[in-house]
Chain A
Amino acid sequence: MVGVLRPMIRMKLAIMRHSTGGTRGTLMATGAALGLLLAAGTIWLATLRPDHPAALGDVLAVAFALWTLGWVLGPLSGGGAPVLRVGHFALLPISRLRLAIGLLGASLVAVTTAITLLAFAGLVVYAARLGLGPAVVALPAVLLQLSFVILLSRVAVGVFGEIAKSRLGGVLAGVMQGAMMVVAQSGWMVIVALDQFQILKTGFPPEVSAVLRTLPSSWGLVAVDAASRSDWPLAAGALAGLALVVVFLLMAWSRLLRLSRTARVVIRGSGGGATEGRTSTRPFLPSGGTAAVVLKELRAWWRDPARWSLFCVAPAWALITSLLPLAFGETALLPWAAPAAALMAAALYVNAWGHDGTALWLTLLTPGAERRDVRGRQLAWLAVFTPTTVLMAALLVPLSGQGWTWPWVLALLPALLGGGAGLAAWVGVTQLVPGPDPHRNRDNPLEGGESTAAQGLLVFFAGLLPVVPAAAVVRAGTLQGNDLLLWGGMPISVVTGALCAWLLGRFAYRHLEAHEPEMLHMMLSGGIVQAATEEAEPSVLDTMSRRRQAALFVGVWLGSIALFPQGLVPLGIKLSGGDDPVWFLALYLPPSGSGRQSPPWS
C-alpha cells in the first residue's frame, strides 16, 4: 500500500504548491486560522469542570458531531473540492480499493486534517483527566474518528454527486444542504436548550444523551468513558464498531470511485420543426434581447439539476429554521421565513457568471449584450424567487397567527428581493469565482470550483441594508400607531428594491463591459495565480484579485463573527456559569415559556 501512497502524497503536495498563491492562499490562511481557533475551543471544552459529571461528555459529543457535520457540509456547499480527483487515476491499472486507500492516505496530508486532528485531541485531554487507561484508549479512538470524518465526507460527496445528476436528486441535495446549514448555525439553539434544561447542573436529558452516543462520531467518547469505568468489553466494542464503520465507508467509497456508475439523466429540450417560426418572446417579458436572456435563464432553472438544487436550498433553510422552534411551541420565527429565504437565495446566487464558465465569450462577442445579460439574469432570478417567497409569506404569516407581522413582511420582501437581484449581479460580476466549465464537469456536478462562501456572506449582510428605509417607516408607524406609516413601508420597499436592482445592475453591466476579457481569461486559467506572474507588472487581474481579497477578508471576518463567537463562545460562557450576555445575541433570548405577545422592539 505504501507503493500507492508515496506518489499520491507527492502529487498532492506538488499540486498544492502550484495552486497556493494569491487569493486562494489568503483564503486558506484565513480559514486555517479560524479552524485553529475552533480546534483550540474544542480542546478548551474538554478542560471544563461542569457541575454534572456526564454533562462534559455530552458537550464534547455535540462538538464532535458538529465537526463531523462540517466535514460533510464543507465540500457539498462548493468549497474544498479534493485536490486529487478520481479522474486523475482512472486509467491506472490499480484496484479501486487500493486507489481509495491511496486517496485516503493523501487526504491525511492537509491543513484541514491537521486542524481536525488537533480538535479531536480534545478527546485525549478529556480522557487524560479520567486516568491512564482511558487516555490509552483515546489515542486509537482519535485516529479512527479522523478517518471516519474524512471518509464520511468523501462518501457524502460521492453519493450527492450521483443523486444530483437528476432534477429530483437536485431537489433532494438542495433540501439536505439547507437542513445541514440549519444544524450548523444552530449552535445558539443548544444554548437555549442549555438554559432551559439546566444542562450544566443536570446533564442532558438521558434520551438526548443516549441518542448523541449512538452517533459514530461519539463512539470514541463512549470507549473512553467505558475505559474509565474499567468496562473494557464496551471500550473495545466501541472502538471495533468505529473501525468497522471506517472499513465500511472505505468499501463504499471505493465503489463510488468507479467513474459514472449510473448513467446521467439526459434532460431534453423543446422539440422540433413544428416550433419553427415560433416566437421566442413571451408577452409578459420585456422585448428583444433581454427577453431572450430571461427565457434562456428560465430554461436553465428548469432543466439544470444544479439549479433545482440551488433553488431549494434557501427556502429549505428558511423553512426548517423557522419550523424548528415549533418543537417548543414557538411560532415567532414563522413569519420571517419568506424574507429570510429571499435574502439567502441572493446570497447563494453570487456566482452566476462563474457557474456558466467560459460561455461569457458569447456575451463578449455580441455587440451590446452585456446590459441584456445582466438584466435578463436579474429578471429571471426575480421571476423564480418572487413567487416562491410571496407564497411562503402567504402561507406562513397566517399559520403563525401573528397578523401584526404583515406590514413588516411586506416591507421587507420587495427590498430584499430587489436588493438581492442587484447585489448578486454586482458581486457575481466583480467578485467572479472561476469554476470548471459545465460541459467538462457534467458527470460530477458537485466537484470542482472554489468556495463562494465569502461572496455569499458579503451579499447576505449587505443585502440587509436596502431594508433600512422601509423598516424605519414601519417602525415609526408602530411607535405612533399610524396606519399610513405602518403600511407605507411596502411601497417604499418596492421603490428601494427597484432602485437597488436597477442601480447595482447598472454597475454590474458597466463593470462587465469594461472587464469582460479579463474575466474570460480568469475563467480560462482557472484563476490560478502562477508564481512566475508575481514579479510581472501589475495587470487588471491583480487589481481584481486584490479586490476579491478584500471581499474575502470582509466576508470571512463577518462569517467568523457569526459562526464562531456568536456560536461557540456563548456555549463557553454558559458552561463556565457566566450570566453576563455581553454582545452575544443568543444570551439575550428570553427564557422560553414567556411567549412573546409583541415584538421586542415595539
Chain B
Amino acid sequence: MMSTGQVGIAPPLGRGSPALEISGLRKAFGDNVAVDDVDLTVYQGSFFGLVGPNGAGKTTALSMAVGLLRPDSGSSRIFGVDVWAEPVRAKALMGVLPDGLAMPERLTGRELLTFLGALRGMDRDTVAHRTGELLNVMELTGAERTLVIDYSTGMRKKIGLATALLHGPRLLVLDEPFEAVDPVSAATLKGILKRFVASGGSVVLSSHVMALVEQLCDTVAVMDGGKVVAAGTLEEVRGGRSLEETFVSLVGAPAGRKEGLSWLAS
C-alpha cells in the first residue's frame, strides 16, 4: 500500500520509537515554495532513502530537519528532542553530511577531526583513536599531509562523512553522500552504513540514484515539487516494479522527451 501526502508510516515490526520526526515543515523563498508541508518519520534502526528529481526540495527539507535552515513553519524532532526548541541537545544526537558546503579548509583530515572532537568536548584519547580508525576506513591516510582545500570532491565527501560519524551519533542525515565518490570507496561507505543500521543506528540519505536507494534502504519517500508524493517501505512504494519505474510514473516523465534535439542525431 502506498501512502501519500501527510499520512504517517506505521512503524515496521520490531522497530522502536522515531529517530527523526518531521511534521508540517514548510519553506518558501519569495514566491517559490521549496518545501510544502512535509511530514516524515524515520524509525530507529531504519535505513531511509529520500528521493526526488533536481529541485524537489530534498536538501531544503533535510536542512530544516537538522537545524541548518529555519523553517517557515513545522517542527523536527530528533529522538523526541525538538531541533529548534532545544538545539544543543538535539545536535548532540545526530551526525550530518551536507552537500557541497565548506569546511575549515586549511587543516588536514586528521587535524580537522581532532579539531571537531575537541570542539565537541570529547575526550582527547577517544578522538585520537576514532580519528585514526575513520581515516583508515575512508582510505584518507595516503593524503595525511594534504589540506582539505586540496581534496578532490570524493575525498571531501569522505572526510565529511567522517566528521558526521566522529561523535558516534545514533542518527545520520546524509545529503547525496555518494555523489562523486568512486565505486570502490562507495562500496566501503555502504558497508559502514549497513553495519551502522544493523547495530541499531538510523540513516536518512537523499539521492537521485534509484539503484543505490533500492540496494540500501528499507524505507523510501519520494519528493516532487516540495511535497512528499509517496512514502513507505521500499516494497510498498515500488509495488512490484523497479523503483525507477515507480519514480518516473510518480514524478511524471518530462514532456517532449522524444521531440527536440533532432539536429544532434543528424
Contacts and interface: CB of A to CB of B under 8 A. Distances in A.
Interface of A: 266-273, 275-281, 288-289, 291-293, 295-296, 299-300, 303-304, 356-359, 361-362, 364-369, 372, 437-439, 442, 517-518, 520-521, 530, 532-533, 535-536, 540
Given A367-B89, A437-B101, 14 more contacts: A266-B146, A269-B107, A269-B108, A271-B144, A272-B144, A280-B114, A291-B118, A304-B106, A356-B102, A364-B67, A365-B67, A366-B116, A442-B149, A533-B30
Given A289-B121, A362-B163, A536 B30 contact: yes
B30 A269 contact: no
B145 A530 contact: no
Nearest to A278: B128
Contacts of A288: 118, 121
Contacts of B111: 269-270, 296, 299
A364 B68 contact: yes
A358 B30 contact: no
Given A296-B115, A439-B149, A533 B101 contact: no
Interface of B: 28-32, 66-70, 87-89, 91-92, 96, 98, 101-108, 110-111, 114-121, 124-125, 127-128, 131-132, 141, 144-150, 156, 163
Nearest to A279: B124
Contacts of B128: 276-278
A432 to B, nearest CB: 14
Contacts of A266: 146-147, 150
Contacts of A291: 118
Which 5 A-B pairs rank lowest in CB-CB distance, beginning with the nearest?
A292-B118, A269-B108, A532-B30, A533-B30, A358-B101
A359 B32 contact: no
B114 to A, nearest CB: 5
Given A365-B67, A517-B69, A289 B30 contact: no
Contacts of B125: 277
A442 B92 CA distance: 32
A268 B146 contact: yes
Contacts of A304: 105-106
A520 B119 contact: no
Given A361-B98, A364-B68, A296 B104 contact: yes
A326 B130 CA distance: 59
Nearest to A277: B128
A512 to B, nearest CB: 12
A300 B242 CA distance: 49
Contact of A533 (B29, B116, B163): B29
Contacts of B68: 361, 364-365, 517, 520
Contact of B115 (A273, A279, A280, A439): A280
B102 A437 contact: yes
Contacts of B29: 530, 532-533
A289 B123 CA distance: 11
A326 to B, nearest CB: 38
Contacts of A296: 104, 107, 111, 115
